[in-house]
Amino acid sequence: MLHPRIIPNLLIHKKGLVKTVNFKNPKYVGDPLNAVKIFNEKSVDELIVTDIDASVKGDEPDYELIEKIAMECRMPLCYGGGITNAKQAKEIFRLGVEKISISSAAINNPSIIPEIAESVGSQSVVIVLDVKKKFFSNGYDIFTHNGTKKTGLDPVKFIRKIQNTGVGEIVINSIDQDGSMKGYDYKIIDDVRETTSLPMTVLGGAGSLDDLGNLIKKYSIIGAGAGSLFVFKGKYRAVLINYPNQKEKIELIETFMV
């Protein structure tokens, strides 16, 4: 039986763990391996790790770092950053990663989606769409390269185009809400949920356990992702790796059952 998932999202920049606001000004918050060790102890549902430098610089995935993270990680791991072909995806999968996330490469060349799906299995192929509201309409644009390149693509239309090509999951990451800790953007979640039945995870805006609970209550089977919520504590954003304890998590999950 499928259940909602509560998922920390970790960003790697210059081999360190960082957090951004609106995809800008990465703030160093610690060592990624130490964060993984702490999340292991907290029985995290799943972990998303993204190298935000690789695709922007056109670099290969950092296989050495990926292997270290995968060896340390005792929960399902999704890795993204710099993946442009099935050979790279297969190597990352071999290192112990359960899911491969791709963004700009899939947007620029959707034909790589079935190639990667054939290599590692469609259930392991995650498409990440970084989205931003349009200024003069209710629509959204997809951006790539850490929110610096506007593609002119509508996320809903793009999902319709690729949803039967081997995609296993869609991640919607709100640039507008990133790091704000003011809650999720429900408009884009509604739009995507009405478009596809694929498993879905959302990122951007979670600032409290109530934000996670409300998301789960509204959408039931969904991935409730967060970055700032799990690396900061308190109004002054002191760095503290945290995650709901078992009692808190059960209470959140039960919100969608009542």
Is residue 8 within 8 A of residue 36, CB to CB? The reply is: no
The residue type of 115 is: E
Tokens 């340390």 — which residue?
A: 72
Q: Which of 45, 39, 48 is nearest to 9 (CA)?
A: 48
45 catalytically annotated: no
Which residue among 45, 62, 130, 191 is the active-site one? 130
Instruction: Give the residues across from 16 on adjacent strands.
Output: 13
Among 2, 14, 24, 44, which residue's Cα sits nearest to residue 231? 44
Residues with catalytic function: 130
